[in-house]
């Protein structure tokens, strides 16, 4: 049994990690941190876990010094970079924040608004999107877990970029639920603001945009990305608009995605159009497309707390530790 520690367990990402790890047959959660709630039972903060988990939140230092085999960092952006350099090299670390996703520290500072201070640790991290880099993960001890918007868009566009099917720019219209903004409400994220509203935010400035560009890496097909807040709790729904270099039929497009993702356990090709409710509370990504022969619309949808965060983090842990990749994250989506 691997010993697991979760730093930042009181937020929605940390909570989702706890819920998944509780049903994992090969691990045991030994410590969960929360500076604000240290000493309080996890089930007191989250009553739905009463009778299921008997953990208490601990101060960060206690969690970092625990004898864990795997440490999940579910901390706000900018916190992990101060923690990682102090950790033992043999400890497996999976960071759910954006601190170690970008290779270029100048670009990091531009999009996140503060400098990357752990430059010596940055080369140790591998980008953890298994469907495009599973082999790069094996044998590693440090993983930068992808962002939710980035996961949806990279998986939707990766085959098209790799095969050079795109002519010109790609326009991305992506929508997200309120849980992606975290547990602590702000003027732009609390319920009265979001519950009946649809609005854009961070035009040309969202921190997941350089992550997408870094992975897709094709200056001939620049991405224009816009995020929108929706009155959902969970979910990412991304629409991608582009022109094709050469005419393609619907069967040709479906064949392309089958070649790339046909054996992937969590990527599903959907005939017709996807629906965000079909992936809620699951690690699945649903992808669909429509074409007039010259232009293409590709849709992708996922649960931002699962495949967009905690589910993908456990998927990465399974690969690093030699477990079956789908262990504890193969549950069916919940509907209705």
pLDDT in tens, 264-288: 999 999 999 999 999 999 999 999 9
Mind giving me the DSSP string for 137-148? HTT-SEEEPPPH
What pLDDT sits at residue 151? Answer: 98
Mean pLDDT of 214-227: 94
| Nearby residues of 255 by Cβ (< 8 Å), 6 or more positions away | none
> What is residue 324's DSSP assignment?
-
Report CA Rg, the chain: 19
With a CB cutoff of 8 Å and minimum separation 6, the contacts of 301 are 152, 235, 236, 237, 238, 274, 275, 276, 278, 279, 285, 286
Q: What is the C-alpha separation between 224 and 307, in angstroms, rounded?
A: 23
Catalytic residue status for 148: yes
Of residues 148, 181, 313, 319, which has the active-site annotation? 148
Cα–Cα distance, 89 to 142 (Å, whole number): 9
Sign (positive or negative) of CA dihedral 212, 77, 320, 93: positive
Q: Is 150 helix (H, G, I), strand (E, B) or coil?
A: helix
**Confidence (pLDDT) at 194:** 74
pLDDT > 70? residue 17: yes
Q: What is the mean pLDDT of the chain?
A: 95
Q: Quick check: 53 pLDDT over 80?
A: yes
Band (pLDDT 50/70/90 cuts) for residue 47 is: very high
> Helices then strands (H, E): number in the chain?
11, 14
Q: What is the DSSP string of 182-198?
A: -SS--TTTSHHHHTT--
> Residue 182: is its pLDDT beyond 80?
no
Mean pLDDT for 180-193 is 72
pLDDT of residue 320 exceeding 80: yes
Global pTM reads 0.96
Taking residue 45's Cβ as centre, other Cβ atoms within 10 Å add up to: 16
Q: Exposure string (b/e) for 273-282, b if CB count within 10 Å is 16 or more?
A: ebbbeebbbb
Residue 100: CB atoms within 10 A of its CB come to: 27
d(C-alpha 334, C-alpha 223), whole Å: 32
Task: Kindly report whether the peptide bond that precedes residue 251 is cis, defined as omega within 30 degrees of 0.
Answer: no
């Amino acid at each position: 049994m691997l010993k697991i520690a979760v730093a930042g367990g009181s937020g929605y990402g940390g909570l989702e990690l706890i819920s998944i790890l509780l049903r994992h047959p090969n691990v045991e959660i030994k410590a969960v941190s929360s500076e604000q709630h240290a000493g309080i039972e996890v089930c007191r903060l989250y009553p739905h876990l009463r009778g299921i988990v008997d953990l208490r939140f601990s101060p960060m230092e206690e969690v970092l010094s625990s004898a864990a085999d795997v440490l999940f960092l579910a901390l706000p952006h900018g916190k992990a970079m101060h923690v990682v350099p102090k950790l033992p090299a043999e400890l497996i670390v999976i960071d759910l924040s954006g601190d170690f996703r970008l290779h270029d520290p100048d670009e990091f500072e531009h999009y996140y608004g503060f400098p990357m201070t752990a430059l010596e640790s940055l080369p140790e991290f591998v980008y953890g999107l298994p469907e495009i880099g599973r082999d790069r993960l094996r044998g590693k001890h440090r993983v930068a877990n992808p962002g939710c918007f980035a996961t949806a868009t990279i998986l939707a566009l990766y085959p098209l970029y790799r095969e050079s099917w795109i002519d010109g720019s790609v326009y991305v219209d992506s929508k997200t639920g309120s849980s992606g903004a975290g547990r602590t409400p702000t003027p732009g994220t609390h319920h009265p603001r979001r519950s009946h509203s649809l609005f854009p935010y961070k035009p040309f400035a969202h921190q997941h945009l350089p992550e997408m560009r870094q992975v897709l890496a094709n200056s001939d097909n620049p991405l224009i990305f816009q995020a929108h807040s929706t009155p959902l709790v969970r979910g990412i729904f991304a629409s991608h608009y582009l022109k094709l270099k050469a005419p393609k039929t619907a069967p040709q497009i479906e064949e392309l995605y089958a070649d790339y993702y046909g054996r992937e356990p969590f990527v599903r090709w959907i005939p017709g159009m996807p629906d965000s409710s079909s992936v809620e509370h699951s690690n699945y990504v649903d992808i669909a497309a429509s074409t007039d022969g010259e232009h293409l619309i590709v849709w992708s949808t996922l649960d931002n707390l699962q495949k967009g965060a905690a589910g993908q983090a456990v998927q990465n842990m399974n690969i690093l530790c030699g477990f079956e990749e789908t262990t504890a994250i193969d549950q069916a989506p919940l509907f209705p």
